[in-house]
Amino acid sequence: MTSPMKAFTVKTSIRATPERIWDLLTDAPGYIRWNNTVQKVDGKVAPRERVTVYPKINPGHASPVKVAGFNHLAEWSGPAACRSASSKGKGLSR
């Protein structure tokens, strides 16, 4: 018997330009300033790079993910994959 996959979703509202939002989403160490569900994020948020997320919900557990690409979303893949919306597709890919 396998246990169900854990998942969680985070939403926040940011009053900022799309460029500023993109800067926030691609600043891995800065996630702790605005995302209260993580203890730490290591790595570089860029296509084909790896990021490790340390969630507060599971202390001591590291969730490595690969940045699959940017297409109006920062797309993550891996055992703890999630997606970070980037202002609803307003041309934020860089």
- Residue 30 has a pLDDT of 92
- Tell me, yes or no, whether 38 lies in a domain: yes
pLDDT at 89 over 70: no
Nearest to 30 by CA among 19, 18, 12, 42: 42
Which residue range(s) make up the domain with 50? Answer: 18-85
- Tell me, yes or no, whether 74 lies in a domain: yes
| Contact criterion met (CB below 8 Å) for 40 and 58 | no
Backbone angles phi, psi at 22, to 5 degrees: -60, -40
pTM, full prediction? 0.58
Number of compact structural domains in the chain = 1
- Residue 27 has a pLDDT of 92
Q: Quick check: helix, strand or coil at residue 20?
A: helix
pLDDT in tens, 20-59: 888 888 899 999 998 888 999 999 988 888 999 998 988 8
Backbone angles phi, psi at 77, to 5 degrees: -135, 150
Nearest to 61 by CA among 70, 69, 52, 72: 52
pLDDT in tens, 57-82: 888 888 888 887 776 555 555 555 44
- Tell me, yes or no, whether 11 lies in a domain: no
Q: In sequence order, which ranges of the chain are alpha helices (DSSP H)?
A: 18-25, 31-34
